[in-house]
Chains A and B, each alone.
Chain A
């Protein structure tokens, strides 16, 4: 019986310790800066357009092929006396969050620093009722970055 008493002492000692549970919706854990929720596109504030030029690099590199990229000529390119130096700009960009496996390869291959991993709680809380709502189009992908909530973590 000595062993049983010993295990009851262990549970008794835990009885005295402070509980470790955190009440989720009220108190959020502070996420580390390199947290990887889902990819999203970044917004270039000073010339007011997305960084992405629609070069298909991420679409080709994605293991699960969850991206669809369509590019177009950039209306406010310097040729049409606009501020931007980008000749091409993204027209429509879909990421299917239902297929994405968050492997960060798209961020690594992008040579325009246009895509980043969402490291905020809003990126994690993406539960929907219908699977097709998980397909994010361009405005949705740009929304958080446009609102300035994303500090992109860059691997040096």
Chain B
């Protein structure tokens, strides 16, 4: 597989992992005011930030002239059932050509987070989608309408991408019930 562009060979897992070769030293310096927990992802470095100062951290990452993460690649969320919902920001720097993933965990009871549109405008629609799919409310979002779900029906408590949301039952069109008679029960 292609190796990470900043380091030569893959570093084997020595406890504790010093992450040398990845962006961790610069990120640690940039985010010194915030307690940060690094982790090694498949391709990029992953950094965990606490909920209350995520936006501050993202702002620092963007305006730090060493890292200069001016491009929000993607913003999404992962539902870990009981450990809460992780909101994931994938960042990229066009000028420096390096990547970083910032994650923060929201407890299931109060899934509230500051909006990232103040940092990047790209986050606008991405946050609207995460809001309607995972039930996360982004304070201060300029346009909190649902993005993909219909507006005319009130689906404010329906969040399809949560694990708790069931899969729709496929109405069985086959089997004994059908074959060729018209008024089969499962007929749609």
Contact = CB atoms under 8 A, between A and B. Distances in A.
B173 A99 contact: yes
Contacts, number: 33
Interface string B162-188: 000000001011110011101010011
Interface residues of A, number: 16
Given A68-B175, A94-B175, A130 B170 contact: no
Given A131-B188, A132-B187, A68 B182 contact: no
The secondary structure that dominates the A interface is: mixed
B175 A132 contact: no
A16 B43 CA distance: 54
Contacts of A133: 180
A34 B184 CA distance: 36
Interface in A109-156: 130-133, 135, 137
A130 B182 contact: yes
A94 B179 contact: yes
Contacts of B174: 66-68, 94-96, 135
A128 to B, nearest CB: 11
Contacts of B187: 132
Given A94-B178, A135-B173, A135-B174, 9 more contacts: A65-B170, A68-B172, A95-B174, A96-B174, A99-B173, A130-B182, A132-B180, A135-B178, A135-B179
